[in-house]
Amino acid sequence: MSRSFQFKSNTNAAALALAAAVMLVPANLLPVLDTQTSGDNRSDTIFSGAAALWHNGLWAIAVIVFTASIVIPVLKLAGLGWLLLAMRRPNPANPGRLTRIYAAIDFIGRWSMLDVFLAAFLTGLIRFGEFSTVVAREGIVAFAAAVVLTVLATQAFDPKAIWRNEPAPAHSPP
Amino acid sequence: MGNPAHLTCHLCGQDHLPAPLVTGEMALCARCGAVMEKGARFGPDAAFAFSVTGLVLAVPAALLPFISAGKLGNERMSHLLTGVGALWDNGMRMLALLVLLCGCILPVVLLAAIALAHVPECLGWRPGARAELARVVRTLEHACIPEVQVLAVLVALMKLGSVVEVTIGPAFWFYCAMALAAIMAQQSFNLEPPVPPSGPDAPQSP
């Protein structure tokens, strides 16, 4: 006898969030881009890339990259963890706040793809042989996997379950 | 899943009776306060107009030069899909497909779905077609992220300023306009077709 697969479940969301958290480790430790410019070779992780932008005076860009690539993925996973822990209670406290957290996680998740698009664009454009070359490295694959897993974890979480024990408003339709 | 005659909040599942919204009005969920529908700011056909505009803009965005970079007399021109090709050549094929999907294919599919969602009433398609297309739109909007690609290109241009000479090609502007059209089409698109005024159980509007 076969059971139909239910994608929206807290178990699936927890498994996907855990997988995303695991993938964030190589994503942040391995290099994401190798840059070779006029004999100067450097290999950047996500953090060192943002730090290099900061040291070059591109503060606003450094903040954007740091926020999109480090802060948002961590915040998303922390938020998902909070939601999943709250759902373990029979009556989740403050469902309105939990729903707002979920909506925020759902909205900000897309911006984590910034570094992936950045790596793809630079790899395609900067190919001048020995003068200047940018090559994407394995760290960006791990990072993209973490982003996709986080998005899937967010989609697997069912926000309607937050309200399962809350009474409907008095003027709702039957 | 809510009653199909009702408007169901996508966050808390509360059913509401649909109500017509005027420009600038928003339908808020009576239980969780989420925005469920918005009154069309630019008229009822705005989503259709923006989606067709986006589809038209996607053609030059894909075909014309995107960005060119020069270094010591060498010049290299890239198109929208050049980065995808480079990742594919580097052996990062799944990553190349992800970039292709999120930055190029899904925005076009989303725009086509929004445009098609306005066709059934004109062509007499079965009533459920719009609801199915609306579900497609709702699913795709999470993965359709041309605006993130635009931001990534702007960040790259700032980063490259001191390394190479960069010239922005026409396709970049067409792509920006397509991304803007996709955002406007999503903002203007309502899941439910316009309905006549109904009873007292209409969603709240501020």
| ipTM score of complex | 0.84
Extended strands (E) in A38-151: 40-44, 132-136
B55 and B116 inside one domain: yes
pLDDT digits (tens, 9 = 90+) for A150-174: 999 999 998 888 887 777 766 555 4
One digit per residue, the tens of pLDDT, for chain B of length 206 reads: 445 557 788 888 888 887 777 777 788 888 888 888 777 677 778 888 999 999 999 999 999 999 988 877 788 889 999 999 999 998 999 999 999 999 999 999 999 988 888 776 666 666 667 777 877 888 888 788 899 999 999 998 888 877 788 889 999 999 999 999 999 998 888 765 544 444 444 444 44
Cα–Cα nearest to B111, from B7, B188, B9, B171: B188
B101 and B164 inside one domain: yes
B50 and B33 inside one domain: no
SS3 B18: coil
Distance CA B4, CA B2 (A): 6
The answer to whether A116 and B95 have CB atoms below 8 angstroms apart is yes
B28 and B109 inside one domain: no
B14 and B84 inside one domain: no
Domains contained in chain B, number: 2
Global confidence as pTM: 0.85
The residue in chain A having the minimum alpha-carbon distance to the alpha carbon of residue B103 is: A117
B107 and B156 inside one domain: yes
Kindly state the tokens that stand for A142: 């791990």
B114 and B102 inside one domain: yes
pLDDT digits (tens, 9 = 90+) for B107-145: 999 999 888 887 766 666 666 677 778 778 888 887 888
B114 and B94 inside one domain: yes
Task: List B residues 124-163 in contact with A (Cβ-Cβ < 8 A).
Answer: 142-143, 145, 148-149, 151-153, 155-156, 158-160, 162-163
Provide the domain limits for residue B171. 44-188
Q: Looking at domain A10-163, which of 1.20.140, 2.30.29, 1.10.287, 2.40.10 is its CATH number?
A: 1.20.140
**B82 touches A: beta carbon within 8 Å:** yes
B163 and B66 inside one domain: yes
The answer to whether A156 and A12 have CB atoms below 8 angstroms apart is yes
Out of A65, A96, A135, the one facing B32 most closely (by C-beta) is A96
Cβ distance of A131 and B17 shorter than 8 Å: no
B19 and B69 inside one domain: no
**A5 touches B: beta carbon within 8 Å:** no
Distance CA B137, CA B151 (A): 23
B34 and B132 inside one domain: no
Task: List A residues 116-135 in contact with B (Cβ-Cβ < 8 A).
Answer: 116-128, 131-132, 135
